[in-house]
Structure 1
Amino acid sequence: DLGNKQWDIPKLRELLETILPQKTTFDNYEVEHDFTTIGRRIMLLNARQIKRVSGKERIILLAIEDITERKRLEYELLRTKEENFGDVFNNAGDGILLVDMESKKFYMGNLAICQMLGYSPAEIKDLGVMDIHPEKDLPYIIDQFEKLAKGEFSLSQDLPLKRKDGTVFYADLSAAYITFAGKKYLMGFFHDITERKRAEEALRKSEEKYRNILENMQEGYFELDLAGNFTFVNDAECRNMGCPREELIGMNNRQYQDETTAQKTYQLFTELYRTGEPVKASDIEITRRNGAKSFNEISVSLIRDAEGKPIGFRGISRDITEHRRAEEALRESEELFRSYLEYAPDGIYMNDLEGNFLYGNHKCEEIIGYRREELIGKNFLELNILSENSLNKAGLLLQANMEGKSTGPDEIDLISKEGRLIPVEINTNVVQRMGQRIVLAFVRNITERKQAEEERKQSFVRLRKALGATVQAISMTVEMKDPYTSGHQRRVSDLARSIATEMGLSADRRDFIRTASSIHDIGKIAAPSEILSKPTKLTDLEFNLIKTHAQSGYDILKDIEFPWPVADVVLQHHERMDGSGYPRGLKGDDILLEARIMAVADVVESMASHRPYRPALGIEAALKEIEKNKGILYDDIVADACLRLFQEKSYQLK
């Protein structure tokens, strides 16, 4: 019933016009008024001034509580005779306590206060003021109690109360003196304000959320009065305008727009005011404080008061300066792109998803010998420009394009207008053009590259043959020096390559192992022939001299440019997994895999074959050695592969 009639209530008008301009807050202000529909009411007002971000506009937040019933109850209790006191006391809606002023103990409490605190009427009588408030708040409570007792005020707000279970709630307290049973008591009326506190907290959170949204949104937000002056702006709007908030507030659009834009803005806002319908506008040019020009896109609606009367405008703005620059750059880019299409070093053509030509550049004409006029609108199949062996691949590429996929690089053969076969490399992308999906293809004539690849291939074959012959010559040189081990390197090479195959190594690594194994004992060239062919057991000195062959082989091979680290494998082929090998005592994975394979093949062949100082031990003894020491001296994976060759696949040394 209060509506917008605040100014019709004298006491309320006094608060708004006289008291609040001097104070930012005012509490416990009682106002009485006769309302048309609900009659005479007593209201308790608490007022707060809320400072808006603009610094100029202020809002007054009024918390209004109807205390008519409380006042009536206080009056009834004060005037009721003692014999009727109990009925009124216990039926009151607010909690009531009678406090002995001397002891600060409770004489009695009504049912409402018992329910609020969670005590029975009998338990209440054993309590005092100190028992129903949180301990940390007791100094404040005592101060309030003493002021109430002295009559300095009759109402204390937001008092914390502690229930029997320890939970805390808040209440407003009003007090008055009464004489009951011949004794003077302070009678306190407790009004539970839990719901009011929740409402205030919800209001605070809502206001905080509103401000956070406005201040953290990427778009600018602004409010204007009806004259077009800024009354509020968020940080993003300050950035859009290139001006601090304190300068923007109160500024009119004519201060940052030229005459043409200002007139356009005026017409826009006039239309909004006339129709009430939100409006949008793009390309609103403004001049920032530093003189730079920028463009904003805005959406604006009316601000109305409680009665629906327009009182201002609110809007969202977005700086589109970079967007405009991007559009301009795009136009320039499109022109450059068209120029590139025409004069690109590669052929470029476009076709639809059915294979019909839409465009071809100069290079495309040059590659296949057709003028673009002969291509446009025709299908690949109709033109007969695909070789027979490329038809299937071209169909797969088009199918991928129909599924929205890019392809390439792929090689196909085209047939020129003159009938020549032209190998080309093609890459395709599916793009949007005028609302239609089309294929943009890049074609490169790779005839010269194909010829160069064939020449390199032939050269590589010749080089590999020469390398093989060189390795064979080196191997024969070693065997000529040590005829008793004739064929040893070849047999080690064959076995090592077979082990690599059993392990699933690539063809290139198998060739690497075969090559290194074929010359793994080349270092023996440096050893005296009489030691190599000595028919009796070698002395320690002689054996140590033989052990240098791994290092000697490395020194011979290290400067030869093999496609693989052959010298390193030759150096490591006597290393062992546990570090007991030579010449460096390497362990585990520090030894190249190819050297680990060669080590197993070398041991098997050596034990199975005749030596000047002993007869052949046989393949069974060799395999037992590998089985016994796999994972210790020899790589277990390599050893298992070797054992499978002999035991499961009938491999034989030849």
Structure 2
Amino acid sequence: EGRDVNLITIKDITENKLAQDILANSEQRFKSVWENALDAMRLTDENGTIVLVNQAYCNLVEKKRVEVEGSNLSVVSQKEYKNIVQTKYIENFHHRNFNTKYECYLELWNNKKVYVEVAHSFISIAEHPELLLTVFHDISSRKIAEDDLKLSEEKYRNLFDTMPNGYYKSTRDGYFIDANSAFIKMLGYESLEELKKIYIPETIYVKPSEREDVLSNNPEFVEHLETYRLKTKDGRIIWIEDNARYITDEDGNILYNEGICKEITDRKNAEDAIHESEIRFSIAFNSSPAPLVISEIESGKIIDVNEQWIRMLGYSREENLGRSSKDLGIWTDSFIRDQAINDAKEKRYFKNIPVRFITKSGDFRDVYWSAEVISLKGNDVLLSMIYDYTEQKISEDRLKENEERFRITIEQTEQIVYDLDIVTGRIIWNGAVEKLTGYYYEEFQEFDVNKWEELIHPEDRKSAIELLNKVISDVSIYKMEYRLEKKNGSYIFVEDNGIVLQGKDVKAARMLGTLKDISDRKLTLIREQERTNRIEMQSSALVEISTHESLLK
């Protein structure tokens, strides 16, 4: 109409605006989910370029976002695998050859290994090429736990199969459910299958009732050591020590019983042998004819005595037990006891120490004390054995007195007494040895029959030896005078008087005799003979002179 007007075009964009708002909200929600997700997430394109990652991914690979986004996959891979990872990814992307979900070790750029659960999915975004969304769920803790559990189960199985002790499971009815190699071998069977076939009460128990005895001793079958006999496949009887218990369900119903056991046959036999030995020791101790006493080493406190000890000292058993020998007052010299105990501690024994005891009545008993350290109920104690030689000592003292009187008597008569063993040639010399021969008493004991013959003057030796051999052969009396060489080389005249004695197994066993110095008498006779000879010579000379004078006249 000839007027200027404004033409206004209105387009209803309500729906478009709504869509934009929805998209913005959706992007906001996506971004919130993406950033706050606990799992690591990554978007990559067909070339292996990392387009987008969340913070969880950065934490997983231990790199910043700016280091990762826009870089290829090699940036998070180990150096030696970078090219392989990139090439393999492009190939799999092209062929859509990714497993949807799997578990693997993620080997990172810093040589760290992370065990993850991986999920792949392709996504399309408007105006963008197709991308690959990869979600990484860190399951390292679970994997470690699983590996630990597997290792633990392997260790348990190895322990179960290799443990030296036997392990078994059995039903209340008497059949085996499971057993390890040691238990199977202990009973002499070839395999677990063979063992499962046997009926326990009748097959491996020596008597079926013995199994019931074991169960009745421990009716609740709580963990408790039981010792009992079993019979092996070949019939051999063994002793085992078993720690067994019932395994029950939540309601207390018995599922089975299990036990760990070991064979103690050798130990049981040793214990039985020790018990028998203790019985034998007790019998020997109490019936010994020698006085015996068991005492503590340090204190000397008496633990046990036998009847002979009681008889020797006069103290009753009650007076002995619990008291020390010093308390009883039996020592004339307690220092000997202390010194002997020191020897016992060092050497664990001592022998034949001469001791004088005082009896309850005040008498003296001369004894030889021997002792040895022994083990009694796990403790070291002293077992003492006494040899009472009081009567023997009295006899020996009397004999010594008699011998001393005999020696003095012989020496006073200035004779040597000898005892010749004809079989061995050994001679025992007594009497005035040193006075007659010049040799010391001990020195002259070395002279046997051969050395004696060498002492005889060469001019007298042959006749002396011939006579000795004759009287030995005749078992008769020897009487001979000869010259005997002294230690200083001079000679004396001796009169040798001996008698040969018969033996049980030989005709002539010994010759007892005496040597008497007859030098004075012999020299007097020689001088008288020489004087007689001179007189006779003088008389003959006078006769000759008288005869010659008569002829001259």
Q: What TM-score do the two structures reach when normalised by structure 1?
A: 0.46
* Alignment partner, residue 210 of structure 1: 156
Q: Give 3-state SS (helix, strand or coil) of 2:183's partner.
A: helix
Query: Which whole-Å CA distance do the structure 2 matches of 1:232 and 1:187 have between them?
Result: 51
Residue 131 of structure 2, aligned match among 185, 195, 212: 185
User: Is 1:241 aligned with 2:184?
Assistant: no
Partner deviation per Cα, 1:15-39 (whole Å, 9 max, x = no partner)? xxxxxxxxxxxxxxxxxxxxxxxxx
User: Is 1:256 aligned with 2:173?
Assistant: no
Structure 1 residue 252 displacement after superposition: 3.9
User: Is 1:391 aligned with 2:334?
Assistant: yes
* Alignment partner, residue 519 of structure 1: none
* Alignment partner, residue 299 of structure 1: 243
Structure 1 residue 232 displacement after superposition: 2.5
Structure 1 residue 335 displacement after superposition: 3.6
Q: Give 3-state SS (helix, strand or coil) of 1:337's partner.
A: helix
User: Is 1:349 aligned with 2:290?
Assistant: no
Distance 1:443 1:268, change over 3 A: closer
Partner deviation per Cα, 1:153-175 (whole Å, 9 max, x = no partner)? 3102023231x433221211001
TM-align CA RMSD: 4.7
* Alignment partner, residue 411 of structure 1: 353
User: Is 1:360 aligned with 2:306?
Assistant: yes
Structure 1 residue 407 displacement after superposition: 6.4
Amino acid at match of 2:114: F
Q: Give 3-state SS (helix, strand or coil) of 1:296's partner.
A: strand
The 5-angstrom pairing of residues 5-44 of structure 1 reads none
Partner deviation per Cα, 1:179-213 (whole Å, 9 max, x = no partner)? 12522111100001111122112213322343344
Distance 1:183 1:384, change over 3 A: closer
Q: Give 3-state SS (helix, strand or coil) of 2:141's partner.
A: helix
* Alignment partner, residue 178 of structure 2: 232
* Alignment partner, residue 117 of structure 2: 172
* Alignment partner, residue 317 of structure 2: 376
* Alignment partner, residue 264 of structure 2: 320
Amino acid at match of 1:393: I
Query: Which whole-Å CA distance do the structure 2 matches of 1:83 and 1:350 have between them?
Result: 99
- Quick check: 1:361–1:372 contact (8 Å CA) kept in 2? no
- Quick check: 2:355–2:367 contact (8 Å CA) kept in 1? yes
The 5-angstrom pairing of residues 144-159 of structure 1 reads 150=96, 153-159=99-105
* Alignment partner, residue 492 of structure 1: none
Q: Give 3-state SS (helix, strand or coil) of 2:124's partner.
A: strand
* Alignment partner, residue 331 of structure 1: 275
Query: Which whole-Å CA distance do the structure 2 matches of 1:238 and 1:378 have between them?
Result: 58
Structure 1 residue 290 displacement after superposition: 1.9
- Quick check: 2:223–2:245 contact (8 Å CA) kept in 1? yes
Query: Which whole-Å CA distance do the structure 2 matches of 1:343 and 1:244 have between them?
Result: 53
Distance 1:197 1:383, change over 3 A: closer
- Quick check: 1:156–1:174 contact (8 Å CA) kept in 2? yes
The 5-angstrom pairing of residues 208-607 of structure 1 reads 208-246=154-192, 247-249=194-196, 251-254=198-201, 256-258=203-205, 260-261=207-208, 263-265=209-211, 275=220, 277-278=222-223, 280-283=225-228, 285-305=229-249, 310-341=254-285, 347-351=291-295, 358-360=304-306, 370-371=311-312, 376-378=317-319, 380=325, 385-387=330-332, 390-394=333-337, 408=350, 411-415=353-357, 422=366, 424-429=368-373, 432=376, 439-444=382-387
Amino acid at match of 2:231: T
- Quick check: 2:106–2:116 contact (8 Å CA) kept in 1? yes
Query: Which whole-Å CA distance do the structure 2 matches of 1:342 and 1:297 have between them?
Result: 35
Amino acid at match of 2:38: G
Amino acid at match of 2:384: A
* Alignment partner, residue 197 of structure 1: 143
Partner deviation per Cα, 1:523-573 (whole Å, 9 max, x = no partner)? xxxxxxxxxxxxxxxxxxxxxxxxxxxxxxxxxxxxxxxxxxxxxxxxxxx
Structure 1 residue 405 displacement after superposition: 11
* Alignment partner, residue 42 of structure 2: 97
More strand by share: 2
Structure 1 residue 235 displacement after superposition: 3.1
Query: Which whole-Å CA distance do the structure 2 matches of 1:348 and 1:176 have between them?
Result: 98
- Quick check: 2:106–2:113 contact (8 Å CA) kept in 1? yes
Q: Give 3-state SS (helix, strand or coil) of 2:204's partner.
A: coil
Distance 1:205 1:412, change over 3 A: farther
Amino acid at match of 1:376: R
Distance 1:310 1:348, change over 3 A: same
* Alignment partner, residue 484 of structure 1: none
Q: Give 3-state SS (helix, strand or coil) of 1:150's partner.
A: coil
Partner deviation per Cα, 1:470-528 (whole Å, 9 max, x = no partner)? xxxxxxxxxxxxxxxxxxxxxxxxxxxxxxxxxxxxxxxxxxxxxxxxxxxxxxxxxxx
Query: Which whole-Å CA distance do the structure 2 matches of 1:437 and 1:271 have between them?
Result: 36
Structure 1 residue 278 displacement after superposition: 4.0
- Quick check: 2:295–2:382 contact (8 Å CA) kept in 1? yes
Query: Which whole-Å CA distance do the structure 1 matches of 2:171 and 2:52 have between them?
Result: 59
* Alignment partner, residue 485 of structure 2: none
Distance 1:214 1:258, change over 3 A: closer
- Quick check: 2:247–2:257 contact (8 Å CA) kept in 1? yes
* Alignment partner, residue 59 of structure 2: 115
Query: Which whole-Å CA distance do the structure 1 matches of 2:387 and 2:90 have between them?
Result: 96
Query: Which whole-Å CA distance do the structure 2 matches of 1:144 and 1:232 have between them?
Result: 51
Identical columns (%): 19
- Quick check: 1:348–1:360 contact (8 Å CA) kept in 2? yes
Query: Which whole-Å CA distance do the structure 2 matches of 1:271 and 1:394 have between them?
Result: 52
Query: Which whole-Å CA distance do the structure 2 matches of 1:382 and 1:188 have between them?
Result: 96
* Alignment partner, residue 47 of structure 1: none
Query: Which whole-Å CA distance do the structure 1 matches of 2:49 and 2:202 have between them?
Result: 70
- Quick check: 1:223–1:232 contact (8 Å CA) kept in 2? yes
* Alignment partner, residue 535 of structure 2: none
Query: Which whole-Å CA distance do the structure 2 matches of 1:267 and 1:378 have between them?
Result: 46
Distance 1:210 1:400, change over 3 A: farther
Distance 1:92 1:200, change over 3 A: same
Distance 1:385 1:267, change over 3 A: closer
Structure 1 residue 176 displacement after superposition: 0.7
- Quick check: 2:78–2:110 contact (8 Å CA) kept in 1? no
Query: Which whole-Å CA distance do the structure 1 matches of 2:90 and 2:224 have between them?
Result: 60
Distance 1:133 1:423, change over 3 A: same
Unpaired runs of at least 5, structure 2: 1-24, 397-439, 445-553
Partner deviation per Cα, 1:409-460 (whole Å, 9 max, x = no partner)? 5834224879666352432537546x999642133579999x9xxxxxxxxx
Amino acid at match of 2:273: A
Query: Which whole-Å CA distance do the structure 2 matches of 1:373 and 1:420 have between them?
Result: 12
Q: Give 3-state SS (helix, strand or coil) of 1:297's partner.
A: strand
- Quick check: 1:301–1:314 contact (8 Å CA) kept in 2? yes
Query: Which whole-Å CA distance do the structure 1 matches of 2:157 and 2:248 have between them?
Result: 20
- Quick check: 1:147–1:153 contact (8 Å CA) kept in 2? no
Amino acid at match of 1:197: K
Of the two, which has the highest radius of gyration?
2
Query: Which whole-Å CA distance do the structure 1 matches of 2:62 and 2:73 have between them?
Result: 15
* Alignment partner, residue 132 of structure 1: 76
Query: Which whole-Å CA distance do the structure 1 matches of 2:171 and 2:68 have between them?
Result: 59
Partner deviation per Cα, 1:342-369 (whole Å, 9 max, x = no partner)? 676965323575655842365x68xxxx
Q: Give 3-state SS (helix, strand or coil) of 1:242's partner.
A: coil
Query: Which whole-Å CA distance do the structure 1 matches of 2:441 and 2:51 have between them?
Result: 116
Distance 1:421 1:346, change over 3 A: closer
Query: Which whole-Å CA distance do the structure 2 matches of 1:303 and 1:137 have between them?
Result: 53
Partner deviation per Cα, 1:318-346 (whole Å, 9 max, x = no partner)? 22322332233223323432454367696
Amino acid at match of 1:391: S
Structure 1 residue 98 displacement after superposition: 0.9
Structure 1 residue 135 displacement after superposition: 6.0
